[in-house]
Amino acid sequence: MALLDVSDLSVVFQRRGEPPFTAVDGVSFSVEPGQTVGLVGESGCGKSVTSLAIMGLLPRRGAVVTGSVRFEGAELLSLSARQMRDRRGRDLGMVFQDPLSSLNPVIAIGLQVTEVLERHRGMPRRQAMVEAADLLDKVGIPDPRRRLDEYPHQLSGGMRQRALIAMALACRPRLLIADEPTTALDVTIQAQILALLAELVRDTGTALIMITHDLGVVAGLCDEVNVLYGGRVVERARRHELFRRPRHPYTHGLLASIPRLDAPRGERLVPIRGSVADNIPWDHGCAFAPRCPNALGTCVEVTPQMDEEDGRLLRCHNPVQENQEVPA
């Protein structure tokens, strides 16, 4: 049985006086215990909203979540707020994008870590402090005892993210969701944090959902990758398959737009034309069609369905062929 089974998850934001906005449109994927799954897409494709919906962190009013999120067989979407609260931090952890603003600026690091331990593991403060120092040590923070008394602004960006990872993993959740955990960090720190996540996930057997716009992050970490566009999964494949042979023109475009050290000198990067549309027109053809170099006549008329072909899922009428040069 899958650890997490998301099926047909949709999130519609409704505001008075405005037309409803569909941020996530029938996303399905599953995560096996210990597996690392990537959700990849550019801003506005619904990847963060998907993760917030899984965590039950979307506002109760204004956001309509439908579909199913099953965690170890239990339906999370039907849990009460209190039941969901008991699971967050204990069964599911989450790490956010900006490590500085994700920490409470007026509370010392130690108290922020012990808060989770006291909340979910019922530890007394003194014991929790010892455990907190141990946790900080595990995520590679030097001199953890001293750091316990320090405040977030005294830590470097990488250190803060390590502390947040320590807090998210404090109660040994079986699933960790990392929402762009390295975007706010500089490149060398990014690599360290990714290595840390990979190591922790391997050692503790925690499943990881890695949310990112950066395929480079996915490349080193994920077993399976879901590429999202306009609130839907457009391609899903195992990591190596996806990088070796991207089939969806969007995936292909994402890969082509990454600078590579091994590319010939002077070769130009290939951007994806245009940007994500505000409204998602999946009901009239393919949402990516206006930006797609491969678009056919049917693409704007018939909405493509998810098709399975040799172990991958693909939502495209005219996928990229092997050795095809895609015009930019």
Partner 1 sequence: MSGSVSRSGSRPPTLGGRKERLDALAATAADGPGDAGVSLAASAWRRLRRNPVFLLGAAIIVLFVVVALLSPWLAAHDPTARLLEGQVSRARNEIPAAQEGFPLGGDQVGRDLLSRLLVGSQQTLMVGVFATVIGLAGGLLLGTVAGALGGWVDSLVMRVVDVMLSIPSLLLAFSIGALFPSPSQFTVILAVATVQIPIFARLLRGSMLAQRGSDHVLAARALGVRPRAIVFRHMLPNSLGPVIVQATLVLAVAIIDAAALSFLGLGNPDDSIPEWGQMLGGAQNVIDSHPNLAFWPAGCIIIVALGFTLVGESLRDALDPKNRR
Q: Which residues bind partner 1 (CB under 8 A)?
A: 55, 57, 85-90, 93-94, 96, 98, 101-108, 115-116, 119-120, 140, 146, 149-151, 153-154, 164, 167-168, 191-192, 194-195, 198-199, 216, 219-221, 243
Residues 6+ away with beta carbon under 8 Å from 284: 300, 301, 303
Residue 74 vs 195, nearer CB to partner 1: 195
The candidate with the shortest Cα–Cα distance to 243, out of 252, 233, 234, is 252
Residue 12 vs 108, nearer CB to partner 1: 108
Residue 200 vs 287, nearer CB to partner 1: 200
Both tokens of residue 143?
């001199």
Which segments of the chain are extended strands (E)? 4-13, 21-31, 36-40, 63-71, 74-75, 92-95, 175-179, 207-212, 224-229, 232-238, 307-309, 312-314
Measure Cα distances from 120 to 90, 167, 193, 272 in Å.
6, 12, 25, 45
> Do 29 and 38 touch, CB atoms closer than 8 A?
no
> Do 309 and 241 touch, CB atoms closer than 8 A?
no
> Do 13 and 21 touch, CB atoms closer than 8 A?
yes
Residue 195 vs 277, nearer CB to partner 1: 195
Q: How far is the CB of 180 from partner 1 (least distance, A)?
A: 12
Residue 216 vs 281, nearer CB to partner 1: 216
In the block, residue with structure tokens 């494949």: 237
Residue 257 vs 298, nearer CB to partner 1: 257
Q: How far is the CB of 221 from partner 1 (least distance, A)?
A: 7
Q: How far is the CB of 318 from partner 1 (least distance, A)?
A: 27
Residue 89 vs 249, nearer CB to partner 1: 89
The candidate with the shortest Cα–Cα distance to 227, out of 96, 53, 45, 2, is 45
Report the C-alpha gap between 322 and 251 in whole angstroms: 14
Report the C-alpha gap between 86 and 191 in whole angstroms: 32
Q: How far is the CB of 313 from partner 1 (least distance, A)?
A: 23
Q: How far is the CB of 164 from partner 1 (least distance, A)?
A: 7
Q: How far is the CB of 284 from partner 1 (least distance, A)?
A: 34
Q: How far is the CB of 120 from partner 1 (least distance, A)?
A: 6
> Do 247 and 235 touch, CB atoms closer than 8 A?
yes
